[in-house]
Structure 1
Protein backbone atom coordinates (compact mmCIF):
# COMPACT_ATOMS: atom_id res chain seq x y z
CA UNK A 1 0.00 0.00 0.00
CA UNK A 2 1.40 3.38 -0.95
CA UNK A 3 2.22 6.06 1.59
CA UNK A 4 -0.40 8.39 0.06
CA UNK A 5 -3.10 5.75 0.52
CA UNK A 6 -2.01 5.18 4.13
CA UNK A 7 -2.20 8.95 4.78
CA UNK A 8 -5.68 9.11 3.26
CA UNK A 9 -6.94 6.17 5.34
CA UNK A 10 -5.45 7.59 8.53
CA UNK A 11 -6.90 11.03 7.79
CA UNK A 12 -10.37 9.61 7.14
CA UNK A 13 -10.27 7.53 10.34
CA UNK A 14 -8.94 10.37 12.49
CA UNK A 15 -11.61 12.74 11.21
CA UNK A 16 -14.23 10.07 11.83
CA UNK A 17 -13.23 9.73 15.50
CA UNK A 18 -13.04 13.50 15.92
CA UNK A 19 -16.60 13.81 14.62
CA UNK A 20 -17.85 10.77 16.54
CA UNK A 21 -16.50 12.19 19.81
CA UNK A 22 -17.43 15.79 18.99
CA UNK A 23 -13.87 16.97 19.46
CA UNK A 24 -12.07 19.77 17.67
CA UNK A 25 -8.58 19.41 16.26
CA UNK A 26 -7.38 22.06 18.72
CA UNK A 27 -8.91 20.31 21.73
CA UNK A 28 -7.23 16.99 20.95
CA UNK A 29 -3.93 18.59 19.92
CA UNK A 30 -3.79 20.64 23.14
CA UNK A 31 -4.65 17.63 25.31
CA UNK A 32 -1.96 15.48 23.69
CA UNK A 33 0.66 18.24 23.55
CA UNK A 34 0.80 18.29 19.75
CA UNK A 35 0.98 21.50 17.72
CA UNK A 36 -2.24 22.37 15.93
CA UNK A 37 -0.44 22.63 12.59
CA UNK A 38 0.97 19.10 12.98
CA UNK A 39 -2.42 17.74 14.01
CA UNK A 40 -4.06 19.49 11.07
CA UNK A 41 -1.55 17.92 8.68
CA UNK A 42 -2.72 14.51 9.92
CA UNK A 43 -6.37 15.45 9.47
CA UNK A 44 -5.82 16.67 5.92
CA UNK A 45 -3.76 13.63 4.93
CA UNK A 46 -0.61 15.64 4.28
CA UNK A 47 1.32 13.60 6.86
CA UNK A 48 0.92 10.51 9.01
CA UNK A 49 2.16 10.45 12.61
CA UNK A 50 4.72 8.09 14.10
CA UNK A 51 3.41 5.04 15.96
CA UNK A 52 3.90 6.62 19.40
CA UNK A 53 1.57 9.47 18.40
CA UNK A 54 -0.92 7.01 16.90
CA UNK A 55 -0.92 5.17 20.24
CA UNK A 56 -1.58 8.46 22.08
CA UNK A 57 -4.51 9.16 19.76
CA UNK A 58 -5.87 5.64 20.21
CA UNK A 59 -5.62 5.98 24.00
CA UNK A 60 -7.32 9.38 23.85
CA UNK A 61 -10.28 8.03 21.88
CA UNK A 62 -10.36 4.70 23.74
CA UNK A 63 -9.77 2.70 20.57
CA UNK A 64 -7.12 0.42 19.07
CA UNK A 65 -4.31 1.72 16.86
CA UNK A 66 -5.74 -0.39 14.06
CA UNK A 67 -8.92 1.70 14.21
CA UNK A 68 -6.81 4.63 13.03
CA UNK A 69 -4.54 2.95 10.50
CA UNK A 70 -6.70 0.24 8.91
CA UNK A 71 -9.25 0.85 6.18
CA UNK A 72 -12.54 0.37 8.03
CA UNK A 73 -14.85 2.27 5.72
CA UNK A 74 -17.57 -0.39 5.73
CA UNK A 75 -17.78 -0.75 9.51
CA UNK A 76 -17.82 3.04 9.97
CA UNK A 77 -20.69 3.61 7.57
CA UNK A 78 -22.72 0.81 9.12
CA UNK A 79 -21.94 1.91 12.67
CA UNK A 80 -20.36 -0.04 15.47
CA UNK A 81 -23.56 -1.30 17.08
CA UNK A 82 -25.98 -3.46 15.13
CA UNK A 83 -29.00 -2.58 17.29
CA UNK A 84 -30.02 1.12 17.28
CA UNK A 85 -31.30 1.04 20.87
CA UNK A 86 -28.02 -0.52 22.00
CA UNK A 87 -26.16 2.26 20.17
CA UNK A 88 -28.11 4.93 22.06
CA UNK A 89 -27.51 3.27 25.43
CA UNK A 90 -23.83 2.80 24.66
CA UNK A 91 -23.55 6.50 23.76
CA UNK A 92 -25.11 7.45 27.11
CA UNK A 93 -22.69 5.12 28.89
CA UNK A 94 -19.75 6.55 26.94
CA UNK A 95 -20.71 10.11 27.88
CA UNK A 96 -20.80 9.19 31.59
CA UNK A 97 -17.16 9.05 32.78
CA UNK A 98 -18.03 6.70 35.66
CA UNK A 99 -19.43 4.13 33.22
CA UNK A 100 -16.92 4.32 30.35
CA UNK A 101 -15.48 0.93 31.27
CA UNK A 102 -18.62 -0.51 29.67
CA UNK A 103 -17.74 1.01 26.32
CA UNK A 104 -15.81 -2.15 25.58
CA UNK A 105 -19.12 -4.06 25.44
CA UNK A 106 -19.66 -6.35 22.50
CA UNK A 107 -21.35 -4.78 19.48
CA UNK A 108 -24.05 -7.44 19.51
CA UNK A 109 -24.99 -6.87 23.16
CA UNK A 110 -28.69 -6.66 23.92
CA UNK A 111 -29.92 -3.25 25.11
CA UNK A 112 -31.29 -4.75 28.33
CA UNK A 113 -27.88 -6.30 29.08
CA UNK A 114 -26.16 -2.93 28.79
CA UNK A 115 -28.81 -1.29 30.96
CA UNK A 116 -28.48 -4.03 33.59
CA UNK A 117 -24.71 -3.70 33.84
CA UNK A 118 -24.84 0.12 33.84
CA UNK A 119 -27.42 0.05 36.64
CA UNK A 120 -25.31 -2.41 38.61
CA UNK A 121 -22.26 -0.16 38.36
CA UNK A 122 -24.30 2.90 39.36
CA UNK A 123 -25.54 1.04 42.45
CA UNK A 124 -22.03 -0.07 43.35
CA UNK A 125 -20.75 3.50 42.98
CA UNK A 126 -23.59 4.84 45.13
CA UNK A 127 -22.88 2.22 47.79
CA UNK A 128 -19.17 3.06 47.65
CA UNK A 129 -19.90 6.78 48.08
CA UNK A 130 -22.08 6.15 51.13
CA UNK A 131 -19.29 4.16 52.78
CA UNK A 132 -16.77 7.03 52.50
Structure 2
Protein backbone atom coordinates (compact mmCIF):
# COMPACT_ATOMS: atom_id res chain seq x y z
CA UNK A 1 0.00 0.00 0.00
CA UNK A 2 2.86 2.42 0.71
CA UNK A 3 4.36 1.84 -2.72
CA UNK A 4 1.09 2.93 -4.33
CA UNK A 5 0.96 6.04 -2.12
CA UNK A 6 4.56 6.81 -3.01
CA UNK A 7 3.82 6.50 -6.73
CA UNK A 8 0.77 8.76 -6.45
CA UNK A 9 2.81 11.28 -4.49
CA UNK A 10 5.48 11.20 -7.21
CA UNK A 11 2.90 11.73 -9.96
CA UNK A 12 1.51 14.72 -8.09
CA UNK A 13 5.04 16.08 -7.65
CA UNK A 14 5.71 15.84 -11.40
CA UNK A 15 2.51 17.71 -12.18
CA UNK A 16 3.37 20.30 -9.53
CA UNK A 17 6.84 20.82 -11.03
CA UNK A 18 5.46 21.18 -14.54
CA UNK A 19 2.74 23.58 -13.38
CA UNK A 20 5.32 25.73 -11.63
CA UNK A 21 7.62 25.86 -14.65
CA UNK A 22 4.73 26.64 -17.00
CA UNK A 23 3.33 29.32 -14.70
CA UNK A 24 6.75 31.02 -14.63
CA UNK A 25 6.45 31.42 -18.39
CA UNK A 26 2.99 32.98 -18.24
CA UNK A 27 -0.40 31.68 -19.32
CA UNK A 28 -1.08 27.95 -19.33
CA UNK A 29 -3.49 28.43 -22.23
CA UNK A 30 -0.85 30.24 -24.31
CA UNK A 31 1.74 27.57 -23.43
CA UNK A 32 -0.62 24.76 -24.52
CA UNK A 33 -1.39 26.50 -27.80
CA UNK A 34 2.32 27.17 -28.38
CA UNK A 35 3.17 23.47 -28.12
CA UNK A 36 0.11 22.28 -30.04
CA UNK A 37 -2.03 20.59 -27.40
CA UNK A 38 -5.51 21.63 -26.27
CA UNK A 39 -5.47 23.76 -23.10
CA UNK A 40 -7.92 21.29 -21.51
CA UNK A 41 -5.46 18.46 -22.11
CA UNK A 42 -2.68 20.40 -20.41
CA UNK A 43 -4.93 21.29 -17.49
CA UNK A 44 -5.94 17.64 -17.13
CA UNK A 45 -2.27 16.62 -17.07
CA UNK A 46 -1.55 19.14 -14.33
CA UNK A 47 -4.56 18.26 -12.18
CA UNK A 48 -4.95 14.51 -12.73
CA UNK A 49 -1.26 13.71 -12.90
CA UNK A 50 1.44 13.20 -15.48
CA UNK A 51 1.03 9.43 -15.30
CA UNK A 52 -2.43 9.69 -16.83
CA UNK A 53 -1.25 11.82 -19.77
CA UNK A 54 -0.05 10.48 -23.10
CA UNK A 55 3.68 9.98 -23.43
CA UNK A 56 3.72 12.25 -26.48
CA UNK A 57 2.13 15.11 -24.53
CA UNK A 58 4.51 14.71 -21.60
CA UNK A 59 7.46 14.81 -24.00
CA UNK A 60 6.05 17.92 -25.74
CA UNK A 61 5.62 19.73 -22.43
CA UNK A 62 9.07 18.81 -21.14
CA UNK A 63 10.78 19.70 -24.42
CA UNK A 64 9.07 23.11 -24.51
CA UNK A 65 10.24 23.73 -20.94
CA UNK A 66 13.82 22.83 -21.83
CA UNK A 67 13.97 19.72 -19.67
CA UNK A 68 13.98 16.02 -20.44
CA UNK A 69 11.50 13.52 -19.07
CA UNK A 70 14.42 12.02 -17.15
CA UNK A 71 15.15 15.39 -15.53
CA UNK A 72 11.49 15.67 -14.54
CA UNK A 73 11.76 12.24 -12.90
CA UNK A 74 14.92 13.30 -11.05
CA UNK A 75 13.34 16.55 -9.90
CA UNK A 76 10.26 14.71 -8.61
CA UNK A 77 12.54 12.32 -6.73
CA UNK A 78 14.45 15.26 -5.24
CA UNK A 79 17.67 14.20 -6.97
CA UNK A 80 18.08 17.17 -9.28
CA UNK A 81 17.41 20.89 -9.07
CA UNK A 82 16.37 21.95 -12.52
CA UNK A 83 14.11 24.79 -11.40
CA UNK A 84 16.99 27.24 -11.46
CA UNK A 85 18.27 26.02 -14.82
CA UNK A 86 14.83 26.15 -16.44
CA UNK A 87 14.00 29.54 -14.95
CA UNK A 88 17.20 31.18 -16.15
CA UNK A 89 17.09 29.75 -19.66
CA UNK A 90 13.41 29.91 -20.52
CA UNK A 91 12.63 31.22 -23.95
CA UNK A 92 16.05 30.26 -25.28
CA UNK A 93 16.71 27.30 -27.52
CA UNK A 94 19.59 25.09 -26.28
CA UNK A 95 21.07 22.13 -28.10
CA UNK A 96 21.64 18.91 -26.21
CA UNK A 97 25.40 19.60 -26.25
CA UNK A 98 24.86 23.08 -24.79
CA UNK A 99 22.62 21.68 -22.05
CA UNK A 100 25.30 19.10 -21.20
CA UNK A 101 27.89 21.89 -21.02
CA UNK A 102 25.61 23.91 -18.73
CA UNK A 103 25.21 20.85 -16.49
CA UNK A 104 29.00 20.34 -16.38
CA UNK A 105 29.48 23.99 -15.47
CA UNK A 106 26.86 23.74 -12.73
CA UNK A 107 28.66 20.69 -11.33
CA UNK A 108 31.97 22.58 -11.47
CA UNK A 109 30.42 25.45 -9.51
CA UNK A 110 28.96 23.02 -6.95
CA UNK A 111 32.39 21.44 -6.42
CA UNK A 112 34.00 24.86 -6.15
CA UNK A 113 31.36 25.96 -3.63
CA UNK A 114 31.81 22.76 -1.65
CA UNK A 115 35.57 23.35 -1.58
CA UNK A 116 35.04 26.79 -0.09
CA UNK A 117 32.68 25.39 2.53
CA UNK A 118 35.22 22.72 3.52
CA UNK A 119 37.94 25.30 4.21
- TM-score using structure 2 length: 0.58
Measured against aligned partners, the alpha-carbon deviations of 1:34-65 in whole angstroms (never above 9, x if no partner) come to 11112111122356312111111121111110
CA drift of 1:103 comes to 4.9
Q: 1:9 aligns with which of 2, 13, 16?
A: 13
In structure 2, the partner of 1:130 is none
Structural mapping, 1:73-88, within 5 Å: 73=78, 75-76=80-81, 80=84
Residues in 2 aligned to 1:46 and 1:79: alpha-carbon distance in whole angstroms: 19
Gap change, CA 1:96 and 1:9, over 3 Å in 2: closer
Conserved? CA contact 1:10–1:69, under 8 Å: yes
**Count of residue pairs the alignment pairs up:** 97
Residues in 2 aligned to 1:10 and 1:96: alpha-carbon distance in whole angstroms: 21
In structure 1, the partner of 2:115 is none
Measured against aligned partners, the alpha-carbon deviations of 1:93-118 in whole angstroms (never above 9, x if no partner) come to x3674x745454122355xxxxxxxx
Residues in 2 aligned to 1:38 and 1:11: alpha-carbon distance in whole angstroms: 13
Q: Secondary structure at the match of 2:48?
A: coil
Conserved? CA contact 1:30–1:36, under 8 Å: yes
Structure 2 gap ranges (5+): 110-119
In structure 2, the partner of 1:63 is 67
Structure 1 gap ranges (5+): 82-89, 111-132
In structure 2, the partner of 1:108 is 107
Residues in 2 aligned to 1:38 and 1:9: alpha-carbon distance in whole angstroms: 18
- 2:53 is the alignment partner of 1:49: yes
- 2:30 is the alignment partner of 1:31: no
